Structure 1
Amino acid sequence: MSHTPHSCIDAKAYRPDIDGLRALAVLSVVAFHIGLPGFGGGFVGVDIFFVISGFLISGLLRQELLAQGRIDFKAFYARRIRRLAPALALVLAVSLALAYFVMLPDDQIKLGREVRAVATLSANHHFLKHAFDYFDSDADLKVLLHTWSLAVEEQYYLVWPLLLWGVFRLSKGNRHVTDLRMRLALGAVLLGSLGLSLWLSYRDTPQAFYLMPARAWEFAAGALLALLPPPRGGRRLALPIAALGLALLLASIALLNERMVFPGVIVLLPVIGSVLFILAGMLDPSNPISRRIGSRPWTSIGLLSYGFYLWHWPLLALGRYWGLGERDLGRDVLLGGVLALALAWLSYRYVEQPLRRGQWRKLRDTKSTLWSGLGITLGLWLLGTVAMYLPKHFPWPGQQSILQAKRDAFHFVGDCGMPAAGVPLSPRDQCLIGAPGAPLKLLAWGDSHTDHLMPLYDALAKERSIAILRRVYHGCPPLADAMPVGEGKKRSWCPSFARAVRAELPQLAAQGVTGVLLNARWNSYTAQDLPGRPAMTGLVAAGLEGVPSVSGGMKAGIAPLDRASSLQVLEQSLDRSAQDMAGLGLKIVLVLPEAEMSKSPPECVARLGAAACNAPRADVESHRLQIVQLLQRVAARHANIRLWDPLDQFCDAKTCFASRDGKVRYQDKDHITASMALTLTDSFRPSFDWARNAER
C-alpha cells in the first residue's frame, strides 16, 4: 500500500488532488474496517493506494534515469526506509506493549510471529498461511493484518527499479527507445499480472489477494499512466474523465462487498477509476472535481494517510479482542477513527516531518539510513521473538483466572500429529488412550470436538480396562467422501485423512475394535452462521478418490456452497459411512452437538461476570436443530448407530451455563474444559458400554 505521504510533494509539481485521493482511499479502508454502513467495498482503498504508488514512484524513477543515466538504488531504498520504517516501528512497539495487557499469551505468541513477518517484508505470505481469508471474522483479531499491503508494495519495489534500469541499459540511453521499451515492459507486467490475478481469483482467492505477482498489475497501471504522454487537447476532457473516475471509485466503495470474489474482475473498477482520476488531474488540475478533492480538509487527511492506516487497525483489533471478539460501532469509531487519526497526526508531526527535514542524524544520509534500516529490521525481529516467549512465562497477573480455564484441557501423550497433507496417519501406538497395554476396542474419530471429549473417553476406557485409538484432525469432519470448502481454501487434506482412517477400519475390526465414537462440530462445515461469526465453510461431495475440482472463489452460504447443499452432502456421507461400518460389524455412537456460547466464557466471566455469559437454551436448541434432525434421520436408517445427547448436562430448562459453581466450563466459545468433559461420565457410560461390546 502506498504510504509515502510526501511522494507527490517530492515531484516537481505538487498534486493536491492525489493527496485528496489518498484521503478517499484511507477513509474508505478505515470506514470498512470499522463497519460503517455504506462502505461495504471500502477495502478497495488499498487498490487505490497501489495505483497512486505506481504512478508517483515510477514517474520519479524515470526522471532519475533520464536525467542522470542511472538509478541510485542505495538512495532509493534509503528514501523508502525514511518514509516507512520509523513510524511503522513505533506502531509495532506500541501494539506489542498494549497486547501484553490485552491479549492472552498464546495470542501474543502469534502477534510476535506477525511482527517478525513485518520486519522481514513477508507479512503477506504470513497471513496467506495463517489468515486464509482476509474477510474472515477471525481476521478482526489479527493485530497486524493490515501490514500485508506494505509487504506487497515493498516486494514490488525490490524488483521494479531493477527492471526499469535493465530496460534503460538495453536502450543505451536513447530517450525515445527507453520510453517505448519501458511502456512495453509495463504493459507486459500489467497483462501478465492481471491474467494471473484473474486466474487465481477463481482458483485460490487468498493467493490472488495476498501475493505480489497477482497485485503487480495495479502498480503497473499507475506507472503506465506516468510514462504515457497525456493526449493532446485533452484539457476539455478533464472534467468528464474526473467525473467518471470518481463515480467508479465511489461505486466500488459503496456497492462492492466481501461476499464477492475479490480481486476477481471487480477490482478493475477501483483501478480504472483511480487511473482516470489521476489522468484528469494531469490534463487539467484546475477542473472542478480535481480541485475540490485537492482542497482542505482532503489534503490534510491525505498527508496523514500513512499514519492513519498504520494506527487504525491495531487499535480496532485490540479493542475487539478486549470486547470478546465482538464489534461495537461506537467503540470502533472512537478507537479506529478518532484516536487513530489523533495518533496519525502525532506521528506525522513528531516522526515523519522531522525525518523529512533531516532532523534525525541517523537517518540523514544514505549510508547511515541503510544501516539504521538494517538495525530497525533486526530490532523488530528480536522484539517479535521476545513477544513470542516472554508473555508465556511472565503473563500479566490480571489474566490468571482466564488462563486457568484455558489450561483445563486434555494433554495428549504421544506423537499423534496432524500432517499437513492429511497423511500418513501417525503410528497407532502413538495415538492410544485408556488403560496401558489393554486391548484396543474403540476408535475415537472426529475434529477438535472429539479431542475435547478425550478426558471423558480416557476415564471410561481406564474404568473398563480397554484402549481407544485417537484419529483426530482439527477442522476436518470424519467424512471420507466430503470436503470442506471456504475461507478461500478447499481443505483437501481433510478427505485424505478421512480416507486413510476409513482404509484402516477393516484391519481394526479384524483386531477386535467394536465401535466408533464419532463427534464433530457439524455446523461449522455446513454453511451456517455460528455464534458470533458468519458462515465460513460448506461441504462438497468429494468421492473416495482424488480432489474435486471446485472454484477457490466459492463463498460459504452462497450456492452451490449453501446450507441446503452442505446438509445434503453431510447426510449422504454419514449414510455411506454407517453402511460401510455396519458391513464390518462396527457400532457408531454419534454425539449430538454440545451447547455453544456466543462469547468465550473464560474471558467473558472474568470481565463481565458469569450471568452475562450464559446462553438461552432456546437459542442453543434452535442453532443445532437442523443438525440434530439430520443425525436423527441417519440413526433411524441404521441399526448400528446410537445417538448421545449431552445438552441436559449443560443446560437447565431455560439456560445453558458458561460456568457453574464458580467453575468455567469452556476453553472458548465451543470447546469445553477437561473438567466439564469428566462431568459427562455417568451420562455417556451406557453409550460407551454399548459401543465396546461385540453384541448388538
Structure 2
Amino acid sequence: MTADIKSGSSGVGVGQAGHISSFRPDLQGLRAVAVIAVVLDHLLDWPSGGFVGVDIFFVLSGFFITALLLRELHRTGGLSFKEFYIRRARRILPAALLVLLVTVTAGYIVFPATRAKETLVDTLWAALFAANWRFERVGTDYFQEGLPPSPVQHFWSLSIEEQFYFVWPAVLLGIFVIAAKFGLRRRGVCRRYALIGVVGATVAVSFGWATMQSSTEPTTAYFSTFTRVWELSVGAAVAIAGPALARLPRTFIRPAIAYFGLSGLAASLFLITPDTQFPGPGAVVPVLSTTLVVGAFQGSSVYGMAPLTNKAAQYFGSSSYSLYLWHWPVFVLLAAIMPEQQLSYYVVAVVIALAMSELSFRHFENPIHQSRWLESELDYSTATVVRLRITPKAWSLVGALLAVALVFSLLAIRITDQRAGIGETNEALDTGRSVMEVDPCFGGPAIGSVRCPQLSPSEVTPSIDTFAKDTQGAFSCWRGEGEEIRSCTYGSTQPDALRLALIGDSHAATLLPGLTRRLEENNWSLTTYLGYGCQWQTPAPGDCNDDMQELQSSLLASEPYDAIVTTSGRKYGGPTEAAAEIAYQAAWSAITARGTKIVAVADNPTVSADVIACVTRLGGDPFECGTDRAQALRDEDPLIAAAAKTPGATLVDLTDSYCTADRCPAVVGNVIVYRDTGGHVTATFAETLAPKLVAGIRAALA
C-alpha cells in the first residue's frame, strides 16, 4: 500500500525538537505515579482511586503518540505508517507476548482446567489487542460475575491504546491531506483549526457517551474504546497546543500549574472510589490534572519538581510498562498457590513482580527496543513522504504464524476440555433421569457427621476442574439482563397433577435440577419463571420490575397454582431490608388470597472470594476451606421475615444443611458447595438438598 501527499512547512509546529525533547523527566515521573497507583490498588485495594493510574497512562499515550506523529509531519512533511508501526511493534510486542506466554503456561500448571481454558481464551484476545472487548462482554455476563479474575485482565487498557494507535495516524494524515488540498494559502492555520476541531469533537462525543454509559451500563463504559478515547484525545490536545504552552514564562507560573496538577492527581487517588461514576464524569479530575503537569513542562523544564524527577520516580517510570505487564499475572497466579490476606503473600507478590519486571526490562524488553529488529532504512524525498509496502513474502510469514498460533490454541482448548471432562454444561434437562438415592454421607445430609469418610481432594464431586461449570441445565430456561421473562413446564402431564411454579432469580434456578428429577414421582407439574434480578416482589428491583408486574397480573388472571416455590439472593432486593420484606408480602398476599400456597426457601449462606480461591488452591485441602457461620449469615434475608408475616406462606430453611453450629464448609459430604462468589450452589450439592425441599413442599400442600 502506498500513499503520497505533497507538503511544505508544517505550520502547526507541534513536535519540533524545541518543543518535544527526546527525554521528558515529567513523563517518566507521571508514569511512575500511574503504575505505582495501579499496583497498590490491585494488591491492597488502596488507595481507593488507585485505578485512575490507567487514566494517567491514557493521557500520556495520547500526548506522546500525537507529539511523535506531528514531529514527523513537521520534519518530513508526511508520515510513514510502516516505520510508525514497526516502532510500536518493537516497543509493545516483545514484552507483552512474553508475559502472555508465561501467564498461559503458568495458568495450565496452577489453575483448574476450566480456568486455564478461560485464561487461554483471554490471552488470545489480549494478543489481538481486543482484550477490552472480551472483558466488556465477560463483565456484563451474569454467570461470569462471581468467577475469579483473569490474570490478563489488565491488558484491556493496552488494547484501547493500540486501537487508538491503529486509527489516529490515519486521522492526522487525513487532516494534513485535506488542509494541503483546500488551504493552500494558509495551510498551517487550516491544519491547526482542523486538528483542534477533530480533537474537540472527539472529546465531546466520547465524554458525553462515557457519562451516559457510566450511569446505565457501568461495566461496558469502563472497558469500552468509545468511552475512553476522549482521555487519549485530551493528551493529543496538549501535544497540539505545544507551541502555545512552550511560550509560558519560566517563572512561578509553570511550577504552580504543575503542582496544581499533582494536587489534583493526589486528590483523585484518595477521593475517587469504585462507586464513583466512571469514566464519565469521574475521570475528569485525573485526566485534566495530568494535562496540567504535562503542559507545564512543555518546551521547558520546571524547577522544584522532585516528586516527579527523583531517582526512584525515574526508575519506576522507565520500567513502568514492564511492571504494569507483570504485576497482575503475578498477583493472580500467586493467589492460586498461597492464601491471600497474609503478610507472606504480599511480600512474595511484591518481590516476584519487581524481579520479573526488572529482569524482563533489562534483559529482554530494553535490548530489543534498542536493537534494529524490524528496522529498515527510510529514504524521504522532498515531496513523497508516506510509503508503506508489505511484500507477499512478509504477508505469508505473518499468515503462517497466525495459523500456527490458532491451531495451537484450538488444540490447547480441546485438550483442556478433555482434561476437565466437560462439554456444554447448560444442556437441556433430562427429566427422565432416575432419582438419586439419598446417601447420608453425600452432600447436605452429611453436614456435621463424624462417621462419614472424608475422601481425598481429588475425589470431591464435582471435581476441582469442573465445579465452576456445574449447573446441569439450571439456566436452560432463563431471562438474561434486559430480556423478557419466559416460562417452561416440566414434570407430570397427568390431568390430576398438582400445579407448581418456581419464581425467582439465579438462586431459585439452582433448585431446578433437583426438583425436576422428583416431579413425576410426586405427580407434580412445575412451571418456571426465572431471570436475572427477578425477585418476586411488588415492586421488584432493577430492570425485572416490568416482567414481575406482568407476571403478577398473569397469576391473578389465570387458574391458581397449587403452590409457588420462590427464593432470591439475600443481598439483592429493595433499597432496604424492610422495603424488600414489604415488597415480598405485597406480591405474595394477593396470590395466597386465591388459595395458592407459598413455599419460601431461605437463601443459602454467602461465600467469599477467599473461600473459592481456597478450594482451587494448588496443593491445598478444600476440606479446610469455609466461612464462620455468623459471617456467612451476616446479611439478613428479608424473605424469612416476609414468610413469617404472610398467611399461607411456609418457610423452608436449609441453612443447617450448609452449616454446622459455627462453620459453613466449602465442601460438605465430599461435595463442593459453591460454584462462585455470587453464592450460586453447584447443581450436585443442590441435588442433595432436594429431599428436604420436597418434604417442605409436601408439608405446605398438606
- Calculate the TM-score normalised by the size of structure 1: 0.79
Structure 2: give runs of 5+ residues left out of the alignment. Answer: 1-16, 379-387, 422-455
Match of 1:443 in 2: 501
Aligned counterpart in structure 1 of residue 303 of structure 2, from 287, 293, 315: 287
Q: 1:165 to 1:617 in 2, by over 3 A?
A: closer
From the superposition, tell whether residues 618 and 691 of structure 1 become closer, same or farther in structure 2 (CA, over 3 Å).
Answer: same
* Aligned-partner Cα distance in 2 for 1:578–1:633: 13
Cα distance in 2, alignment partners of residues 375 and 327 from structure 1: 45
The CA deviation at 1:459 is: 4.7
Q: Could you tell me which amino acid in structure 2 is paired with residue 394 of structure 1?
A: R
Partner of 1:425: 486
Aligned residues: 626
* 2:569 corresponds to which of 521, 537, 562: 521
Structure 1 pair 661/567, CA: closer, same or farther in 2 (3 Å)?
closer
Q: Which amino acid aligns with 2:44?
A: G
Task: Choose the corresponding residue for 2:234, options 214, 221, 226.
Answer: 221
CA pair 243-596 structure 1, distance change in 2 beyond 3 A: closer
What is the CA–CA distance in structure 1 between the aligned matches of 2:112 and 2:614, rounded to whole Å?
Answer: 11
> Which of 684, 689, 698 is the matching residue for 1:689?
698
1:604, CA displacement in angstroms? 6.3
- Quote the offset at 1:144 in angstroms: 1.8
Distance of 1:233 and 1:650 partners within structure 2: 68
Against the structure 1 CA distance between its residues 278 and 180, is the aligned structure 2 distance closer, same or farther, given a 3 Å change threshold? Answer: same
Q: Deviations over 1:59-90 (max 9, x none)?
A: 12112223323222232223222221222111
Structure 2 vs 1, CA of residues 683 and 314 (structure 1 numbering), >3 Å: closer, same or farther?
A: same
Structure 2 CA distance for aligned equivalents of residues 271 and 663 of structure 1: 50
* Separation in 2, partners of 1:454, 1:191: 49
Instruction: Say whether the 8 Å CA contact 2:326–2:353 is kept in structure 1.
Output: yes
* SS of residue paired to 1:311: helix
Q: How does 1:105-254 map to 2 (within 5 A)?
A: 105-132=113-140, 141-172=149-180, 174-228=187-241, 229=243, 230=245, 232=247, 234-236=249-251, 237-254=253-270
Q: Which whole-Å CA distance do the structure 2 matches of 1:161 and 1:344 have between them?
A: 30
Q: Could you tell me which of 347, 351, 364 is aligned with 1:338?
A: 351
- Cα separation, partners in 2 of 1:596 and 1:212, compared to 1, 3 Å: closer
Amino acid at match of 1:482: A
Within the candidate set 530, 536, 551, 1:472 is matched to 530
- How far is the alpha carbon of 1:415 from its aligned partner? 5.4
From the superposition, tell whether residues 111 and 73 of structure 1 become closer, same or farther in structure 2 (CA, over 3 Å): same
Check whether the contact 1:442–1:516 (CA below 8 A) recurs between aligned residues.
yes
- Rounded to whole Å, the distance in 1 between the matches of 2:377 and 2:100 is 23
* Counterpart-to-counterpart distance in 2, 1:414 and 1:646: 21
CA distance in 2, matches of 1:618, 1:208: 37
Question: 1:646-679, CA deviations, whole angstroms, 9 ceiling, x for partnerless residues?
Answer: 2233344444444455454444563445554454
Report whether the alignment pairs 1:69 with 2:82: no
Moved more, 581-590 or 597-606: 597-606
Q: CA deviation at 1:287?
A: 1.4
Cα distance change, pair 602–302 in 1 and its aligned pair in 2 (3 A) = closer
SS in 2 for 1:160: helix
Q: Distance in 1 between matches of 2:376 and 2:546?
A: 53
Match of residue 393 from structure 1? 418
Which whole-Å CA distance do the structure 1 matches of 2:214 and 2:103 have between them?
A: 32
Contact 2:119–2:150 (8 Å) recurs in 1? yes
Letter in 2 for 1:221: V
Q: SS state of the match for residue 66, structure 2? A: helix
Deviations 1:590-628 (A, max 9, x none): 01123344413981698554663244444444x25x32x
Cα distance change, pair 666–41 in 1 and its aligned pair in 2 (3 A): closer
| TM-score normalised over the length of structure 2 | 0.79
User: Equivalents in 2 of 1:200, 1:111: separation in Å?
Assistant: 28
Within 5 Å, give how 1:655-694 maps onto structure 2: 655-660=663-668, 662-668=670-676, 670-674=679-683, 676-680=685-689, 683-692=692-701
State the shift of 1:688 in Å.
1.4
**Distance (whole Å) between structure 1 residues aligned to residue 170 and residue 259 of structure 2:** 36
AA partner of residue 612 (structure 2):
S
- Structure showing the higher helix proportion among its residues: 1
Which has the greater radius of gyration? 2
Cα deviation 1:302-359 (Å, max 9, x = unaligned)? 22111111111122122334557x5546424532x33222222222234323333335
Deviation at 1:270, TM superposition (A): 1.7
- 1:569-598 CA distance string (max 9 Å, x none): 422321222123224432110011233444
1:465-518 Cα shifts (integer Å, max 9, x gaps): 32322333355433463224xxxxxxx2x34554564455357636xx311111
1:566 is aligned to 576
Supply the AA of the counterpart residue of 2:56. Answer: I
Distance 2:282 2:613 in 1: 40
Corresponding residue of 2:95? 87
**Structural RMSD (CA):** 3.7
User: What is the aligned counterpart of 2:477 among 416, 426, 432?
Assistant: 416
Q: Is the 8 A contact 2:535 2:568 kept in 1?
A: yes
CA distance in 2, matches of 1:292, 1:616: 45
**What is the CA–CA distance in structure 2 between the aligned matches of 1:224 and 1:334, rounded to whole Å?**
41
1:551 alignment partner in structure 2:
none
Q: Which residue of 1 aligns with 2:61?
A: 53
**Structure 2 CA distance for partners of 1:300 and 1:433, relative to 1, 3 Å:** farther
For residues 224 and 105 of structure 1, do their structure 2 counterparts lie closer, same or farther at Cα, with a shift above 3 Å needed? same
1:624-663, aligned counterparts within 5 Å? 624=635, 626-627=636-637, 630-660=638-668, 662-663=670-671
Tell me, yes or no, if structure 1 residue 28 matches structure 2 residue 37. Answer: yes
Asked if residue 351 in structure 1 is aligned to residue 364 in structure 2, the reply is yes
Measure the CA separation in 2 of the matches of 1:75 and 1:438. Answer: 78
Q: After the TM superposition, which residues 31-46 of structure 1 pair with which residues of structure 2 at under 5 Å, given as runs?
A: 31-35=40-44, 37=46, 39-46=47-54
Aligned to 2:447: none
Q: Aligned to 2:323, which of 308, 313, 329?
A: 308
Distance 1:277 1:393 in 2: 54
Q: Deviations over 1:241-284 (max 9, x none)?
A: 22222222222223322232222334222222211212222253
Give the corresponding residue for 1:603: 615
3-state SS of 1:288 partner: coil
Give me the whole-angstrom Cα distance separating, in 2, the residues matched to 1:481 and 1:43: 36
Check 1:330–1:684 CA distance in 2 against 1; reply closer, same or farther (3 A cut).
same
- Corresponding residue for 1:558? none
Q: Which residue of 1 aligns with 2:512?
A: 454
Shift of 1:363: 9.3
Q: Which of 593, 607, 614 lines up with 2:603 in the alignment?
A: 593
State how far apart, in whole Å, the 1-side matches of 2:659 and 2:96 are. 48
- The unaligned stretches of length 5 or more in structure 1 are 1-7, 485-491, 527-538, 540-564
CA distance in 2, matches of 1:171, 1:500: 59
User: In structure 2, which of residues 288, 293, 300 is the aligned counterpart of residue 277 of structure 1?
Assistant: 293
After superposition, residues 369-384 of structure 1 pair within 5 angstroms as 384=409
CA contact (8 A) 2:120 2:409 kept: yes
Secondary structure of residue in 2 paired with 1:470: strand
